[in-house]
Amino acid sequence: MKSWKWYATASAIALSATFTAPVSADVKMDDILKDASTVGDVVSYGLGTQGQRYSPLKQVNRDTAGRLVPAWAFSFGGEKQRGQESQPLVKDGVMYVTGSYSRMWAVDVKTGREIWQYDHRLPEGILPCCDVINRGAAIYGENVFFGTLDAKIVALNAKTGKVVWTKEIDDFKAGYSYTAAPLIVPSKAHGPIIVTGVSGGEFGVVGRVEARKVDNGDLVWSRPTIEGHMGMLAGKESTMTGKQNESWPGDLWKTGGGATWLGGTYDPDTNLLFFGTGNPAPWNSHMRPGDNKWSCARIALDPETGEIKWGFQTTPNDGWDFDGVNEVVSFDADGKKLAATADRNGFLYVLERATGKFVTANPFVAKISWAKGIDKTGRPIYVPENRPGDPTKAADGKKGSSIFAVPSFLGGKNWMPMAYSKDTKLFYVPSNEWGMDIWNEPVTYKKGAAYLGAGFTIKPVFDTHIGSLKAMEPLTGKTVWEYKNKAPLWGGVMTTAGGLVIFGTPEGELKVLDDKTGKELWSFNTGSGIVGSPITWEQDGEQMISIVSGWGGAVPLWGGEVAKSVANLNQGGMVWTFKLPKQLASKAK
């Protein structure tokens, strides 16, 4: 519902002689599928449905990047700052950007002026696990879509910001929420569909992937991620996920976790949706012997039916909260259609994306302690003594033996998306070098309460740095170069045909590096920590680069000793946009 503020703002903007009202967005499926190769807009999360985060633009390049200057800055305003993990979208001269506390703005990309603002009315008692963030929107036709902290998906008119429809994903009082950017993909039977996951794995919810009609939000299909649960198709039960009790004991599958909280990617070549699934619940692995499918896994789904075509589990019987939600990025190598995913458990996996067949896995962080490596089938070679102890075997029955595990439960890589360059054939992986003291405790499920059964304290592994951006060869695991950062890295990465790698740091710096050497070419301090993902597009013949700035997310909430080390970082809420000076831009063409 719109407040009077929108009408007042719109009226004030309309009075400006320099403001030109944008045309209404009209995004077609073809625009989304070609997003990775077109330069005049950004209409998908990941700069293309395959999630490579690569732009063919090269006006800003190794030679010119050092001359970047701010074009405009837009403030989210108010006291609702917190973590800003959004990736903006751009279409027809308008930027659509989400912010903390389930808000969205439309901004004129020529001036940085607000066109409209939507504030979702959140109820009391929401249960977000890891800050009140939102990672972005989706756009199709004349509407823009995003999820909310009270587990709803909202469609807004892109021109006016007025609500078109709202659908409830699930009960927020049970721990459900939604923070990921939705994904819009084609369907022969249903037309374009909007695909979402769920957040809330720490509350014992059951993860799932769902598809809805874009015009009214009606449910097309639903696919749970934990075995034993029934899927839905066309309003009726379809098939069961896996086989009940095949890898889950007793009734634990009913509250088994496996949340799909990061969203997914789509590969047009194989017509498959790829989603990662989160930790099993509870964290105490001694309560649930077995592989606990399909938690901590990557699954490929048929967009027509929601059926799982293949699954690959990275951490069976997870005992360290190594969510497997990390993005699946499609790429081609050696004549094969492959996919890479950098897991929270510290290994970069390469799979055949049509079948899920394991190709290779290599560590991308140092001192991994929970596993000796990955065997030829893709299964981890566990180190039994580095699993947290069973509390039922403790003298008091209240706390199992504590171990020090690397990486920490916040992962070798957490949510922050990596990027792939079609030029260097390298992945650029934002990682963190940290470990944790972790121990298990007894726990029982209670609706709306944290369902962990573990305690933990995160600690740095090195004195010099925690954050580490690594340029990696996906098939060999070779690190070509590494950029070390004192604070943890918590934002996304982008690559360009200009030979650049672009990312931000919690210290507030937007950085541009040489994609071949890692040499720093340019840096700008945005005034608050960066935990968002950059984008680039061409506007009136000029290459624009934008980043959302605003420190927060899981690190200051869960980071233990690490959180203390970054306690001085200021929160914020800004969109910064950069370009080359006009004289230099014309010479660079």
Dump pLDDT digits (tens) for 134-143: 999 999 999 9
- pLDDT at position 579, please? 98
> Would you say 417 and 327 are in contact if contact means Cβ atoms under 8 Å apart?
yes
490 burial level (CB within 10 Å; 0-12, 13-18, 19+): buried
Give the C-alpha separation, 23 to 26, whole Å.
9
Mean pLDDT of 34-54: 98
Mean pLDDT of 4-14: 34
> Would you say 496 and 54 are in contact if contact means Cβ atoms under 8 Å apart?
yes
pLDDT (tens digit per residue) in 223-238: 999 999 999 999 999 9
* Between residues 283 and 14, the one the model is more confident about: 283
> Would you say 103 and 116 are in contact if contact means Cβ atoms under 8 Å apart?
no
* Residue 10 identity (one-letter amino acid): A
- pLDDT at position 566, please? 85
Catalytic center residues: 321
Q: How confident is the model at residue 583 (pLDDT cuts 50, 70, 90)?
A: confident
Beta pairing, strands 542-549 & 54-55:
unpaired
- The answer on pLDDT for 15 being more than 50 is no
- The answer on pLDDT for 588 being more than 80 is no
- Predicted TM-score (pTM) of the model is 0.94
> Would you say 492 and 532 are in contact if contact means Cβ atoms under 8 Å apart?
yes
Structure tokens at 569: 């970082």
- The answer on pLDDT for 9 being more than 90 is no
- pLDDT at position 25, please? 78
Q: How confident is the model at residue 148 (pLDDT cuts 50, 70, 90)?
A: very high
Q: How confident is the model at residue 560 (pLDDT cuts 50, 70, 90)?
A: confident
- The answer on pLDDT for 24 being more than 80 is no
Give the C-alpha separation, 182 to 180, whole Å.
6
Q: What is the mean pLDDT of the chain?
A: 93
Beta pairing, strands 493-496 & 54-55:
parallel
Q: Which residues contact 91 (CB under 8 A, 6 or more apart)?
A: 25, 27, 41, 42, 43, 139, 158
- The answer on pLDDT for 266 being more than 90 is yes
